[in-house]
Amino acid sequence: MMNFDNEANRADLLEREIRGEFPDDKGRYGPFGGRYVPETLIPALERLDAGIKRWLKDPEYQAELTRELNTWVGRPTPLSYAHTLSARWGAHVWMKREDLAHTGAHKINSAMGQALLAKRLGAKRVVAETGAGQHGVASAAACARLGLPCTVYMGAVDIERQAPNVGRMKLMGATVVPVTGGDQTLRAAVDEAIRDWVTDPNGTYYLLGSAIGPHPYPYLVRELQSIIGRESRQQMLAQAGGLPQAVYACVGGGSNAIGMFYPFVGDKDVEIYGVEAGGRGSGLGDNSATLSYGTPGVLQGAFSLLLQDAHGQIQETHSVSAGLDYPGVGPEHAFLKTIGRVSYESIGDDESLEALEELSQAEGILPAIETAHAFAAVRAYAKRHPGSRILVGLSGRGDKDMPTLTRTLLKGKL
Ligand SMILES: *Cc1c(COP(=O)(O)O)cnc(C)c1O
């Protein structure tokens, strides 16, 4: 283990991160990341790694990706000034509108990029996992657009909870396979998608939904989601008159957050904050705040922080937001926390719902509950730093959350 107590070491690791040296040739970010998988998976991951090296920076791939992002996804997404919240909170709040991306969240950026890669790798079909169904919908849409058959693994419990998204996937031609093993939620769905992939790693492409999993997935997803931060940086300079003092994003597996953060890592005057789900409290099982309460360990192919008990048993997690409800987190976030470049905090269920209502009424934007966690943290920052300029990632829209909101905020009001 590297010595993180030593300030000089941490500063050196930050310089290397800024120079783009991570992941290193072993797929690591400092000690985090890597490839902790059964022998049978190694050839498939190596093939993917070679494919990324061949295609990701290829001008023709980049041109097709840009064309799809601009004419089908709806990029660049706008940067909106939050007039009412800014006046009320006493600071300048700028919102990066990933809720306006096709299918309603940032997930489509990675889904389209990976589906285009799948075609170049010669895959005949795509498999994906989904929890709340957002990544399943994004994958189904990208695959329909490119004419690739798509199979989505989804926990039986989640299928029950997220029926509208199951319908959306099916309407776009995807096959949805219920997973009845394990915890019957996201973690079991990832395991099942990987099992499918290994049976035919050449003909099948595994389209992973967050910046998690074995190398090279966290890298691939970061590269595809960094368009959020790159656009935001330019838009802040053009519209807000300068870089933000603080950048905020919510963190589940960490894909929208790493996409927002990475282009700002070298701007040392910009403070960066990730916001996790504090659920109903700090006890094990009561939250999904991996970076706040987790300890180092291996989950689904990577060494990172995770929520586990003293015996290494993965804990059940809780959050009102299905998209943040995961016991692990992408390895680059564990790294950025450890070297002190990004600060992570958590916001509870009730506070996130309050923020969701405030944003809806103040700005006419109903955000995803995931996203609302970031706004609750921004409100607190604005009050501590009057007059500051704040950028917040508005990762997705809240229409998908209507069943949960009907049971909570709207209870007795309909
Ligand atoms: C899936 C999702 C998240 C959480 O996933 P990350 O990989 O952490 O970004 C956050 N917000 C929305 C709207 C989502 O759909």
Is 65 in the same domain as 211? yes
Q: Report how far residue 24's alpha carbon sits from residue 224's, in angstroms, rounded to the nearest whole number.
A: 18
152: left (phi over 0), alpha (psi -120 to 50) or beta: beta
Residue carrying the six token digits 């996409």 = 259
On whether residue 2 sits in a domain, the answer given is no
The answer to whether residues 193 and 330 belong to one domain is no
Among 221, 239, 257, the domain boundary falls at 221
Is 24 a domain residue?
no
41 assigned to some structural domain: yes
The CA-atom distances, in angstroms, between 189 and each of 154, 159, 196, 272 are: 5, 11, 11, 31
Ligand 1 contact via 256 beta carbon (within 6 Å): yes
- Output the CA–CA distances (angstroms, integers) from residue 383 to 89, 242, 249, 340, 344, in the order listed: 6, 20, 18, 23, 18
Domain boundary among the residues 192, 221, 250 is at: 221
Ligand 1 atom 13 nearest Cα: 396
Q: Whose CA is nearest to atom 7 of ligand 1?
A: 255
Q: Is position 296 within any domain?
A: yes
SS3 366: coil
Ligand 1 neighbour 254 (Cβ under 6 A): yes
> Is residue 292 lining ligand 1, measured as CB closer than 6 Å?
no
Atom of ligand 1 lying closest to residue 211 CA:
7
Does some domain include residue 214? yes
CATH number at residue 81: 3.40.50.1100
CA-proximal residue: ligand 1, atom 3 (nearest): 323
Q: What is the C-alpha to C-alpha distance for residues 136 and 28, in angstroms, rounded to an integer?
A: 28
As averages over each run of 10 residues, the pLDDT of the chain (414 residues) reads 78 97 97 96 95 98 98 98 98 98 98 98 97 96 98 92 92 97 88 94 96 98 98 98 98 98 98 98 95 96 96 92 93 98 98 98 98 98 98 97 94 93
Residue 154: inside a domain? yes
Please name the residue whose Cα sits nearest to atom 2 of ligand 1. 323
**Whether the CB of 255 sits within 6 Å of ligand 1:** yes
Q: Could you tell me if 298 and 159 lie in one domain?
A: no
Q: State what percent of residues in the chain have pLDDT above 90.
A: 92
Both 260 and 387 in one domain: the answer is yes
Atom of ligand 1 nearest to the CA of 134: 15
What pLDDT does 3 receive? 66
Domain boundary among 221, 236, 253: 221
Q: Domain check: are 45 and 159 in the same one? A: yes
State if residue 302 touches ligand 1 by the CB under 6 angstroms criterion. Answer: no
Q: Are 398 and 369 in contact (CB under 8 A)?
A: yes
Nearest-atom number in ligand 1 for the CA of 396 is 13
Query: 237 and 217, same structural domain?
Result: no
Residues 150 and 120 in one domain: yes
Are residues 151 and 131 located together in one domain of the fold? yes
Its domain, for residue 302, covers 75-104+226-407
Summarised one tens digit per residue, pLDDT across range 61-105 is 999 999 999 999 999 999 999 999 999 999 999 999 999 999 999
Q: Is the CB of 287 under 6 A from ligand 1?
A: no
Q: What is the pLDDT of residue 226?
A: 98
Could you tell me if 94 and 63 lie in one domain?
no
State the distance from the centre of ligand 1 to the C-alpha of 251, rounded, in angstroms: 7
Q: How far apart are CA 102 and CA 339, in angstroms?
A: 35
Q: Ligand 1 mean position to 329 CA, how many Å? A: 12
- Domain membership of residue 7 (yes or no) is no
Structure tokens at 139: 């994958």
The ligand 1 atom nearest the CA atom of 212:
7
| Residues 93 and 134 reside in one and the same domain | no
Tell me the pLDDT of the chain averaged across its residues: 96
Overall domain count for the chain: 2
pLDDT at 2: 60
Q: In the prediction, which pLDDT does 368 show?
A: 97
Is residue 138 within 6 Å of ligand 1 at its C-beta? no
Q: Which amino acids are annotated catalytic?
A: 107, 129, 395
Q: Is residue 11 part of a domain?
A: no
The pLDDT score that the predictor gives to residue 6 is: 86
Statement to judge: residues 89 and 212 lie in one domain? no
Compute, in degrees rounded to 10, the torsion defined by CA atoms 269, 270, 274, 280: 80
Q: Tell me: do 211 and 236 sit in the same domain.
A: no
